Amino acid sequence: MSRSYKLGSEFPREGFVQKSIEAFFVQRGFTLEPRKFAGIDLLCAHPTTGERWHVEAKGVTSQTGLDFRTCIGQLVIRMSDQSVRHAIAIPNDPSFSALIGQVSPWVVERLGLHWLIVDQGGAVKVVEPPHLQHAERSDTRNR
């Protein structure tokens, strides 16, 4: 899914984040879906499990805080299916760490919001909402 980015595709720019999350999902067997709406950064589905993701990506800009808040709004407005996992993909950068910290944990939980943190090498760390982290720990203890 080739697009051009005004600020380029180097870390910590959006183009880098976008390419990294696309590679992350493709490597895990997901199929990238055509974007239903202009502006959606990533829609994908796993053909075997049926797991689906809607991801908005952001990178560092001169207006990182404004762009981050816009990203949350874009994602929330397009949330139409509770079975889809919703995420915001961002670079591992102190400015974004501070912004994530400003989002109330109960909001993250209610929205089922995942954070996809992309490091300088392109690796993606998935941070699940608190209720899913708890369920995962409970499942592990019961095995």
Nearest to 55 by CA among 28, 26, 83, 90: 90
Following DSSP, what letter does each residue of 75-98 receive, concatenated? HHHT---TTSEEEEEEES-HHHHH
Nearest to 41 by CA among 59, 61, 27, 62: 59
**Total residues belonging to the chain:** 143
> CA 54, CA 70: separation in Å to the nearest integer?
16
Fold of 14-141: Trna Endonuclease; Chain: A, domain 1 (3.40.1350)
What is residue 131's predicted lDDT score, i.e. its pLDDT?
Answer: 78
Amino acid at 51: E
Note the pLDDT tens digit of each residue in 59-89. Answer: 999 999 999 999 999 999 999 999 999 999 9
Confidence of residue 134 (pLDDT cuts 50, 70, 90): low
Predicted structure pTM score: 0.88
